[in-house]
Amino acid sequence: MTQTDKLDLSVQIGSLTLPNPVGVASGTFGYGEEYAPLLDVNTLGALYTKAVTLEPRAGNPAPRLADTPAGMLNSIGLANPGMEAFITDKLPFLRTLGCPVIVNVAGSTEDDYALVVERLGSEDGLGGYEINISCPNVAHGGMAFGTDPALVERLVKRLVSIRDRAPGAASRRPVIVKLSPNVTDIGLIARAAEAGGADALSCINTLVGMVIDTKRKRPVLARGTGGLSGPAVLPVGVAVVYKVSRAVAIPVIGLGGISCADDALQYLLAGAVAVQVGTAIFSRPETPLEVLGGIRDFMEREGVSEVRCIRELL
């Protein structure tokens, strides 16, 4: 029997050590402050911020949300205050946190991504970058990058070289590439990101979906389609992680539909080194901490002392 205090929950993502495998997903946790009254943010394995773009973005027209069976659609459209306001208004709070902060970076052009990663390289208090090449909710860029292997490799190569030239510890921040499930062969895109020098991959972003209001006879979302998330996408994400973690040598972070420890364990068994909880936070803000507790219980029960060894059980 393993003792709880002997459990090694730490996870290695490139040069970054996460204290535990349970993070909170981009776009569902704002910039940390919003949920701080409801759960102890310091105990998270990592906090992935809402997407940051070069310029401020107002986002898509409303309504932006729809209810679906065991899930939801969103078409937020990467609404965010922009890179400079992120640095002045959001980063000071994020720096006070005890957990690693990973900035989710999005853009419409390669230059957009490059300028954000370059600028953030001169700011301290960040653990790494999660490159969002998989947002289904914007007309330009976003998912368009994530579906073309040649574009993915070129973009990642450029961002990695910018990261390498950053001063001090910022030159070692991991570049994590977040993949879209809305592609024909995700293994191809995963290998392209790896070839470009990515330190890790996050799978999955949301799936494209639509809800139609049969009374008003029009789509519920102003933009028509949105991204599906929540329990409904869990088996899709697990299958993607199973496939991708066998296609690449770099670590894979699993997410999509996790709402309890068992869901997270499916990802860890499928080959993920860490997980993120997203939509479930909306239903129950404490979910990430409950998931972590359940992973500990599993490790004790199974006699696994290192969280990175869970995948070997499959």
Ligand X SMILES: Cc1cc2nc3c(=O)[nH]c(=O)nc-3n(C[C@H](O)[C@H](O)[C@H](O)COP(=O)(O)O)c2cc1C
Residues of the shown chain interacting with ligand X in the complex, contacts defined by CB under 6 A? 25-28, 50-51, 74, 76, 78, 104, 132, 135, 178, 205-206, 229-230, 233, 255-258, 277-280
99 is catalytic: no
Question: Rounded to an integer, what distance in angstroms lies between the CA atom of residue 23 and that of residue 43?
Answer: 9
Question: Rounded to an integer, what distance in angstroms lies between the CA atom of residue 54 and that of residue 63?
Answer: 25
Question: Rounded to an integer, what distance in angstroms lies between the CA atom of residue 163 and that of residue 84?
Answer: 18
Angle at alpha carbon of residue 155, lines to 177 and 164, rounded to 5°: 80
Using the contact rule CB under 8 A, the part of the chain among 71-79, 94-102, 107-115, 120-128 near other proteins is: 71-79
**Nearest residue to ligand X, scored by beta-carbon proximity:** 27
Instruction: Print the binding letters for residues 215-254 with other proteins: x by CB under 8 A, - otherwise.
Output: ---------------xx-----------------------
Residue selected from 139, 283, 301, 314 as contacting other proteins according to rule CB under 8 A: 283
Question: Rounded to an integer, what distance in angstroms lies between the CA atom of residue 11 and that of residue 19?
Answer: 7
Burial (CB count within 10 angstroms: exposed 0-12, middle 13-18, buried 19+), residue 124:
exposed
* 21 φ/ψ angles, rounded to the nearest 5 degrees: -85, 0
Q: How far is the CB of 7 from other proteins (least distance, A)?
A: 26
Among 135, 203, 260, 309, the active-site one is 135
Q: How far is the CB of 258 from ligand X (least distance, A)?
A: 5
In sequence order, the 6+-apart residues with CB closer than 8 A to the CB of 299 are: 2, 7, 305, 307, 310
Please list the active-site residues: 135
Residues at the site binding other proteins, with contacts judged by CB under 8 A: 27-30, 34-35, 37-38, 50, 58-59, 61-67, 69-72, 74, 76, 79-80, 230-231, 259-260, 279-286
